[in-house]
């Protein structure tokens, strides 16, 4: 016969299950979705604003900014894609 869980576990389950259900229900609500959507957009805007304000200072010190790094990454990415496409062309021949 399987042994009963310890008392602390039974107490934990008694709280966790209804709490978990209530939180999951809340996470499905329109209000929560609104909060998350606003949060995501605000974070994005804040990041852009910080980048914009720090760009001038970093460039004054001749340091690369996140935008510079992103631009370089995009160029490397494009190169990698071209290499892949060329490799496929070569394979076909």
Question: Site residues (CB under 8 A) for other proteins?
Answer: 5-6, 9, 12, 16, 19-20, 23-24, 27-28, 33-34, 36-37, 40-41, 44, 70, 73-74, 76-77, 80-81, 84
**For residues 4 and 62, which CB has a smaller minimum distance to other proteins in the complex?**
4
The DSSP call for residue 93 is -
**For residues 35 and 63, which CB has a smaller minimum distance to other proteins in the complex?**
35
Q: Where are the alpha helices (DSSP H) in the chain?
A: 7-27, 30-60, 66-92
CA distance 59 to 62: 5
């Amino acid at each position: 016969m399987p042994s009963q869980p310890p008392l602390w576990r039974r107490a934990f389950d008694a709280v966790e299950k209804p709490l978990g259900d209530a939180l999951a229900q809340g996470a499905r609500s329109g209000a929560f979705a609104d909060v998350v959507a606003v949060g995501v957009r605000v974070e994005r805007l804040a990041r852009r604003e910080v980048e914009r304000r720090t760009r001038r200072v970093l460039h004054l010190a001749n340091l690369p900014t996140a935008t510079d790094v992103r631009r370089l990454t995009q160029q490397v990415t494009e190169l990698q894609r071209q290499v892949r496409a060329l490799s496929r062309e070569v394979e076909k021949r």
